[in-house]
Structure formats: structure tokens, C-alpha cells
Amino acid sequence: MSATTVSVTRPVRVLRRIWIFPVLAVMLGFALLLGMGIGAVPIPPDAVVAILLSKVGISLEPVVSQQQIAVLWNIRLPRVVLGGLVGAALAVSGALLQGIFRNPLADPGLIGVSSGAALGAVFTIISGVAVFDIYTLPVAAFLAGAATTLLVYRLSRRHGRTDIAMLLLVGLALNALAGATTGLLTYLADDAQLRSIVFWTLGGLGGALWETVLAATPPILLVLVLAPRLGFYLNLFALGEAEARHLGVNIEWVKRFAVLMAALATGAAVALTGPIGFIGLIVPHMVRLAIGPDHRLLIPACAFGGAILLVFADLLARTLAAPAEIPVGLLTSFAGGPFFLALILRTRRQYGLS
């Protein structure tokens, strides 16, 4: 193949991959529309659009009731917006960590954020501390998750460098320790505290308010804006750390920044919704199958994919057992467990271990 053919083919391939973003944007809009419209109080799509536009002074034909307006604006809209933000945060965190570890099995839970945040939240429930009123639990969860991640990072450094294998091992050890401590605190809880702990640790969007959306937006948006800047460097990471260093990549800076972004996004998400598993594992893998391993496209596409998946999962959680509600964390775990097992078996076959 001539150089001219290669130069023409490469932009065509990139253009085809970029078309994934309009498709994902349409899918996200569809997911949000369904999430806002389906429920105990049904709201038709035209009514959803009319209510949203009425908030900016645009009046349309559909007649809507005050009940529909109240349900949409105060319950469903903050819920789907929070679901979109949290899904995007978890998926982007997964893509970053898989790029750093160079392993499609990596997950945000590996660096200790989820288990640390759970420990902070459970301790707050048991102690009854309410320094920040309704924000006490998410603040405590976020700080505990960030502290656990910082400890993992510090313990994994050797001779001024971050050892990825050590980072994984220390993360697993601290995850086990935090999990055991959380279990002990749960054992000491009374009935009322136990119900709160179980509700939080299963993961869900049932407590979504505009206040929680506003609390989640700044850290998650910061990560969604900054994370794609790592795409080029993570592509070089795929060649190996030594090769990336020879190509001029500041290895330590990339590791620190990627872990910081993953910890910030996952910590903010877990602090507000509880641990919701496997989003950070499933979405990057599915997006990678669709558009390839280029992290410059993979990371922003994962943001869309994570938002779509969690909004749809929450819709199923609300409707499958209506009027009861299944915790969305349970739903993603039921889907993610078999997916993870299939991914492990596929990886084993690729390396000739079966």
C-alpha cells in the first residue's frame, strides 16, 4: 500500500470513529427522555419537552398538570442528571485506570476509593455526626475515599517512582482492610442505623436532589474536561513504560494525574450514590470494541456510554418491581458479574492459558 493510500485511509477511519459521538448523544438524549417520562406518574415525551422549555420562558402546546411539573422538576430530572454524571464519572475512571494498568480488567474499586468512601459513610451513620447537615455523609465519604487513595499512592511509591504492580497490591490490601472495618461497624449498628447502612451500601439514585446534583457537578465536570487530555499519553503507555519514557512522556506525571482524576471522579460519585459497581469495567470495554483503543476518542466516548448505561439501569431499577425499587447497584452487579467472568475467560484464551 502506498503512502498516499495510507494518508487517505487514516483520516477516513478517524472520521468513521468520530461519528460515534452523534450516535451516543442521540442515545443519551433518548435515555434521559425515557428516564424523565416513565414512572408512577407517566409524562409523555412532548410534555417533558414542554415542561423543560417552560423553565426558560418558551411555551408550547401540550397541556401538563401541576403534578407532572412537580414530579418532573423535583424528582425525576435531578435523578436522571445525577445518574448521567455518576455514570460518566465511573466510566471515565475505568478508562483511565485501564490505560494506566494496561489491563482491561482494571476497575475504579482497585485504588481504594469505593471501599474508603463506604467506610467514611458507615462511620458517619454510626457516630451520628452531622457537622455539615445533609452534606455530612457525602463529605465524609469523599474525604475517606480520597484519604484511602492517597495512602495507596504513598505506599506504592518506591525510589521516587510509582510501581503499578505495587499500587494494585496495596489497593487490594487496603480494600480488604476497609471492608473488614465497615463490616465491624455494621455489626455494631442498631436497627435504624443498619437500614441506613444497607440502603447506602447497595448504591442507588433514590436520594437525588438538586442539592446533590450541584454537589456532584463541579468535581465530575472537572474530570470530564481534563481526562481527555491524557488520551495521547495513555496511547503511548500501551507500548510500555520504558518505550513511553523514551518517547518523552513524563511517566510519573501521567500516573499521578490519572490516579488523581480517577479518585476525584469515583469519590464524588460514590459519596453521593453509594458504590455502584462494574460501570467502570463494562463501559470502557464495550466502547473499545466499537471504536478501538485510541484513548483520545475512548475517554470522551466512555463519558457518554457511562451516562447512558446508568440512566437506563436506574430506569429498570425503578420499573421492574414497581411500586418497589431495586437498588441500581444490585442491578449493575448482576449484569457486571457475568460480564467480568466472561472477560476473564476471554483474556485467558488470548494469552493461551486455557
Q: What is the pLDDT of residues 74-116, one digit of tens each?
A: 999 999 999 999 999 999 999 998 898 887 777 887 778 888 8
* pTM attached to this predicted model: 0.87
Torsion angle of C-alpha atoms 200, 205, 209, 210, degrees rounded to 10:
130
Give strand ranges (E) for 87-238.
Answer: 157-158, 161-162
- Has residue 2 got a pLDDT over 50? no
Cα–Cα distance for residue pair 257/255, rounded to 1 Å: 6
Task: Tell me: cis bond preceding 323? Omega within 30 of 0 counts.
Answer: yes
DSSP secondary structure string, 248-283?
T--HHHHHHHHHHHHHHHHHHHHHHH----SHHHHH
Q: Note the pLDDT tens digit of each residue in 4-13.
A: 333 444 554 5
Report the alpha-carbon distance of residue 69 to residue 84 in Å, rounded: 21
| DSSP state letter for 339 | H
Percent of the chain, pLDDT > 70? 93
Domains of the chain: 3-350 (1.10.3470.10)
Beta-carbon count within 10 A of 197 CB: 20
CA atoms within 13 A on the CB side of 68: 19
Quote the pLDDT of residue 25: 94
**Residue 267 pLDDT > 90:** no
Q: Is 212 exposed, middle or buried (0-12, 13-18, 19+ CB in 10 A)?
A: buried
Q: Residue 353 above 60 pLDDT?
A: no
Can you read off the three cell numbers belonging to residue 302? 466512555
How many helical (H) and strand (E) elements, i.e. helices and strands, does the chain have?
A: 16, 2
- Torsion sign, CA atoms 68, 69, 70, 73: positive
Report the mean per-residue pLDDT for the chain.
84
183, pLDDT greater than 50? yes
Higher per-residue pLDDT: 23 or 130: 23
Classified as helix, coil or strand, 13 is helix
Look at residues 337, 335, 336, 354 and name the one whose alpha carbon lies nearest to residue 345: 354
- The per-residue pLDDT for range 204-225, each reduced to its tens digit, is 888 888 988 988 899 999 999 9
Q: What is the pLDDT of residues 308-347, one digit of tens each?
A: 999 999 999 998 877 888 889 888 888 877 877 777 777 6
